[in-house]
Structure 1
């Protein structure tokens, strides 16, 4: 072969190479000013940030696990330097870093869960300056990889190995402009992947009377058509009375989605009923994945592309979930991943050094060591979760739980069948955080109690469910001494329904919530008023401790304190004035059980701040509910093993396509 022939052959081979994008570098939209730290920041990571308290500052030697890097106060990234979703100006003499949540490359996740072993970073720039590529290890130590200078229009390529990322670590790059400044035109992380065919996705949103949220997310998706290239269908399962199709602007948004939007109307079957419908439809229409989304979120649309790119390249079918940021404090990450504590059957963080509610505006990715350790999870919340239809076909749809524990149970079931769940950094939504809700009180308490016990019966490796029954009794006592009688009624109903078995779960999906809400009228603590002025004026100085804040009993005194408190509430009659006027008013954050237990009568604000309820102590009601709780828990202990066998053996049947189809057929309305 001649030299000319060799050159022609080499050129043809290079042109045939297919470099596919795994993750584009992106920037916030004009209405997301407060999210800038999630996309880009400036300066270098240096200095020390104390993680515990000021006492450490006075220590002669600071323990390594108490330290964390922080920015020493250098320049800030400028929002007005953003030119588009993919391009940005770097001012003369300044440096910006894309070592951020949305733009660093989570190398350890790709290394662990896919067969990808190298990636290419491509950065297109104009102007003059430098590009520096860095990486981190699982301890969060930053390491220089490669630097280069650029002049004029340039397309710079870095080929990077994933070999050293066994336990954690990220790649990222920084740009530094010289005296004339520079622009980043675009950048992406790619791989050589000639034969790849993208999977097809059914994107499903379950909604209940939140049409404004649904329409907002539909607009976001319509404005980002590239994120929908492999979305076969956008499905809204509307279970409310305020219909999405009746929202102003619906027709326009629907048209902008090019015929991909379909609405299914069905009775309110809860989150599990809505998401199960999405799974069902994804299997039926031949999609490779069902992407489940909550209604009350704001989605980062690029997440869809990233989750699909990752899921397509996993070694075996894998559930891929996105993270959740706080909708009302958008630089705050609510959680980086969750597992189920097997002894208690409660959500838990995988590693002790993780922080809940990390604020990236205070400490960015490069400055936060624990974010560099790969986090392996048991499940991902269904605020954003992509489930392969291959998994659905093998293990079934959601358990018919209405709400609570459906996502965690599904992750545990998938894991038992050999399918992993990955919470993928760089894919996320903004959602109202749990701090702005109190779903352990009120009608949701029924579903928390019942569904936690069902999950325990199916999956607990410990005799009698480990600590779950003990903690269930403790929770009953706390609610009762807190005068939360409506909440406790729901919990007792949950215990009773456990004995009815798994066979009745489908049958009560649409009826249980109305049954619980019908009980509200029986309980003062369930009556919500808008303002404190809607109640009688509190009695001056008649509250416990004269209004002095009450702290939680010490652990060693807790049992004694609890016995004395319960005995007092059982025997001592409430103050006569308490029936006609409250002793005090408590803000929600102060309404802890050990404070409420000292009152005979108190007005309490709800978690959302939308109203207040009047709690009044009732010794007779306390006595009857306490006895019933003890009897039901004793029965549960006696019948535990039989119930566990019964629930475990029923999972395949009650989560099957056939069982859910019967439920959908019975509760479907007209479809558009």
Structure 2
């Protein structure tokens, strides 16, 4: 052994993993059939349009294997490859995201170690930022062997991955295990406080605790598993809690506190991580299923970043588990809304339809402004410098924190290969109902603090447009919440802590005033519509042409302001609309209509009220004019208050005021 080798040790950066028996629908995320020597390029890719590119290079080359057999998986680390077949680990969870390590760490060489038994070959490949696949090396194996490959990260400046494929000989081949490693000077790993914020989802929380207990190696550097329970259905009362708690070996702690929303729960996790001396606070949503290996990967990456870095995991759809919701997000500075970092990125990418090697845009490194707090690891060094979450209750807390960290010089990385499965919000409509208050208020607060444009760019204009859309859609409860949000902006940042626990009950108390907030389970709970009494006989209408949109909007609002509703519409709805058809430009033509909610659990009766519309529209205009007039003063006020209201001291006072049983 050389002197250099004696002074270094082998650190595991990423282990090859396989799905459990309960995750058969996630198999394409871990391993798939065949090996790729070409890639399907998108139609808008410059290379795809090049007349010099052979047509056969536009599609994936495959070995033509029979596919991956789930019963060939031996364990989380091992699988068999049948004689004459090939499998690839160029997948979401098992390819190595070389460009992320190249960009954010000082690591420049990694070692791939593959232990096999049987006969066959190991082929290592890499990709570049365009998604072009390049063969690196192939090694034949026979018997029990550990094969190593030393691989440089230097060429991965803009993107690209490493991975390996296995091809079995006549007697078959078994992967015993494989890992991506680093030879480095001895170092201690950071310690993590893993925190879950929950509100009446004890089954989800206990399930994740059970998953963690079943993977003790993932918890080696977890100092504490903290559940901040803000609900009335307590996790500790769930059947099986005592057994799971015992299996976690004393690492589980539950804090009961009043409902302070996501920001209050996550801020508590940050606070406790600083207080107990952890190096990181790992924040998790309650309604997720975690891939426990993600903890090891995020920690290995974060420990080796050039400076303290927020490291987040991706989100897959819990009800369609091969679908990646998004690969990374930035905040559009002109609109202050989440946006894709690159125009060619797809939302909702399904790896069962197109794998990593077939999808060119997945090979470009994606740099983000923030990561959702469904899974996000924040260094306590960052927390000490920039504070805890803004007290925003439920929306924009994660994005605001990423923007604040970036302004202080701390980056956020959404790390491929680290992820949870989360209930997707695409089948929800949280812009309608009680959440509309928090969307409106928190977006405006974020805009006041961070917008680089006068009067917040397009945000005020879009806010007015949203008010008009909700009003012509007869969504009066939603609009009441938005108007309350505008009023509360003028009260300043000083009242944000005080209203954390009170604002949601106040908003929900308004429901009784509005028909559109009353939910019934079945369409038969409403009077039957009269055939042909709705607009165009009840046929759904399309969006007006863009050139006609302004004039159409003026006419529509004018009609709703002055035209008396059909008297019969107050007694019987003019139609019934499925949620997907209940767009504002359709709802605006009705005097009365029953609408299904986004979850499909019930429906509400929308009825047009010109007097209420006039009152709310006038109030919206007045508040937006005032906001535009006072914008600069408010922006200075909110920016100046960030350090104070996100401090450990301010949050401790709030926690103490809303503690349960002295916690």
TM-score, reference length from structure 1: 0.95
* Residue in 2 that maps onto 1:618: 609
Q: Which residue of 246, 249, 263 corresponds with 2:254? A: 263
* Residue in 2 that maps onto 1:359: 350
* Residue in 2 that maps onto 1:276: 267
- The answer to whether 1:515 aligns with 2:506 is yes
CA distance in 1, matches of 2:514, 2:148: 67
* Residue in 2 that maps onto 1:319: 310
In structure 2, stretches of 5+ residues that fail to align are: none
Runs of 4 or more above 3 Å deviation: 11-17, 44-53, 57-64, 66-74
* Residue in 2 that maps onto 1:5: none
In structure 1, stretches of 5+ residues that fail to align are: 1-9
Q: CA deviation at 1:194?
A: 2.6
SS in 2 for 1:363: coil
- The answer to whether 1:217 aligns with 2:220 is no
* Residue in 1 that maps onto 2:622: 631
Q: Deviations over 1:320-366 (max 9, x none)?
A: 00000000000000000000000000000000000000000000000
* Residue in 1 that maps onto 2:587: 596
Q: Which residue of 639, 650, 653 corresponds with 1:648? A: 639
Change (3 A) 1:484 1:46: farther
Change (3 A) 1:60 1:311: closer
Change (3 A) 1:625 1:62: farther
Q: CA deviation at 1:547?
A: 2.5
Q: Deviations over 1:501-538 (max 9, x none)?
A: 00000000000000000000000000011111111111
CA distance in 2, matches of 1:317, 1:558: 48
Matches within 5 A, 1:316-395: 316-395=307-386
CA distance in 2, matches of 1:643, 1:67: 54
* Residue in 2 that maps onto 1:659: 650
CA distance in 2, matches of 1:49, 1:427: 25
* Residue in 1 that maps onto 2:146: 155
CA contact (8 A) 1:127 1:180 kept: yes
Matches within 5 A, 1:463-542: 463-542=454-533
- The answer to whether 1:184 aligns with 2:180 is no
SS in 2 for 1:183: strand
SS in 2 for 1:175: strand
TM-score, reference length from structure 2: 0.97
* Residue in 1 that maps onto 2:245: 254
* Residue in 2 that maps onto 1:407: 398
CA contact (8 A) 2:41 2:359 kept: no
* Residue in 2 that maps onto 1:453: 444
* Residue in 2 that maps onto 1:582: 573
Q: Which moved more, 1:555-564 or 1:535-544?
A: 535-544
CA distance in 1, matches of 2:512, 2:61: 53
* Residue in 1 that maps onto 2:185: 194
Change (3 A) 1:68 1:594: farther
CA contact (8 A) 1:70 1:367 kept: no
CA contact (8 A) 2:36 2:133 kept: no
CA distance in 2, matches of 1:430, 1:458: 32
* Residue in 2 that maps onto 1:38: 29
Q: Which moved more, 1:368-377 or 1:190-199?
A: 190-199
Q: Which residue of 174, 181, 189 corresponds with 2:165? A: 174
CA contact (8 A) 1:207 1:239 kept: yes
Q: Which residue of 303, 307, 314 corresponds with 2:294? A: 303
CA contact (8 A) 1:68 1:368 kept: no
Change (3 A) 1:317 1:14: closer
Q: CA deviation at 1:45?
A: 3.7
CA distance in 2, matches of 1:329, 1:497: 39
- The answer to whether 1:561 aligns with 2:552 is yes
Q: Deviations over 1:108-140 (max 9, x none)?
A: 000000010000000000000000000000000
SS in 1 for 2:21: coil
Q: CA deviation at 1:549?
A: 2.6
Q: CA deviation at 1:581?
A: 1.1
Q: CA deviation at 1:60?
A: 10
SS in 2 for 1:181: strand
Q: Which moved more, 1:572-581 or 1:28-37?
A: 572-581
Q: CA deviation at 1:75?
A: 2.7
Q: CA deviation at 1:73?
A: 6.5
SS in 2 for 1:291: strand
CA distance in 2, matches of 1:124, 1:50: 33
CA distance in 2, matches of 1:166, 1:251: 49
* Residue in 1 that maps onto 2:135: 144
CA contact (8 A) 1:68 1:369 kept: no
SS in 1 for 2:22: coil
* Residue in 2 that maps onto 1:204: 195
CA distance in 2, matches of 1:316, 1:175: 37
Q: CA deviation at 1:15?
A: 6.1
Q: CA deviation at 1:193?
A: 1.9
Change (3 A) 1:507 1:11: same
CA distance in 2, matches of 1:73, 1:662: 63
Q: Deviations over 1:48-80 (max 9, x none)?
A: 868679xxx99999999x977586975311111
Q: Which residue of 284, 292, 297 corresponds with 1:293? A: 284
CA contact (8 A) 1:263 1:671 kept: no
CA contact (8 A) 2:39 2:357 kept: no
* Residue in 2 that maps onto 1:551: 542
Number of aligned residues: 659
CA distance in 2, matches of 1:644, 1:537: 51
CA distance in 1, matches of 2:245, 2:237: 12
SS in 1 for 2:620: helix
